[in-house]
Structure 1
């Protein structure tokens, strides 16, 4: 994807719709323990620095899952809608929530040091530990 493209998604019950501009079709796979608990396995997410547009915002619940981030979900059906940094400068959206048919491709795996041993992906991707992920964000905080 060379230019920003709008992607859309809707929760299971239709109470919440989301629109987000994406620069790439890259999917990051997060193996952190929180994502495992939240999604029942690794979280497959597309990321954006641009704010999203929500319809049905009154149906959105937000949970502060850490000092630095929060997770949004539909209060009616429980669909996971987004993960965002508390400063609002980074969003991650479950790839399954967004438009079907996009040419998604796994670009990286993060928190590889928290990945359970019962699965592995065949994709040859960069793999970052939790410390490496935090170092990346710390380095870009001044940008």
Structure 2
């Protein structure tokens, strides 16, 4: 079922609307995505370029001879992977206002996969609102925890 979803960068300067047709997403582990995000992988939703409308355009960096990446130059949020001469593009799952809809369906770039980082469910876990020092810093600055 097609649904229009919204998203954007951390600071709100870059915003988009995307028509999403399913819940499928994937993790890319390639070295270029690792370097572009500073993470061990990145979660993407693959969409037709015509299904994405920018309320405010991202900055773009020609990250290779075959593609560019959209990002916000104000806050640094990675937003897209856009191959040249292709009718589809990737939006980062985390940049959607409601990223919880998406489910991972595959891995890409597995030659650089850091398997120890994929299933971390057995590690100790804590909630942000249970970290009193962090809560106090947020409360002093903005009176609430961030979204």
What TM-score bracket applies, with the shorter chain setting the length?
A: 0.7 to 0.9
1:26-85: CA deviations, max 9, x gaps?
11100000111112220101110233211222xx21111112111011121111121111
The unaligned stretches of length 5 or more in structure 1 are 123-143
Greater than 6 Å deviation, 4+ residue runs: none
* RMSD, aligned CA: 1.8
How far apart, in 2, do the equivalents of 1:85 and 1:96 lie?
A: 20
Query: Structure 1 residue 99 and structure 2 residue 97: aligned?
Result: yes
* Other-structure match for 2:55: 55
Say how many residue pairs are matched. 118
Gaps of 5+ in 2: 121-147
Structure with the higher fraction of residues in helix conformation = 2
What SS does structure 2 have at the residue aligned with 1:118? helix
Match for residue 42 of structure 2? 43
Trace 1:74-113 onto structure 2 (pairs within 5 A): 74-100=72-98, 102-113=100-111
Matched residue, 1:134: none
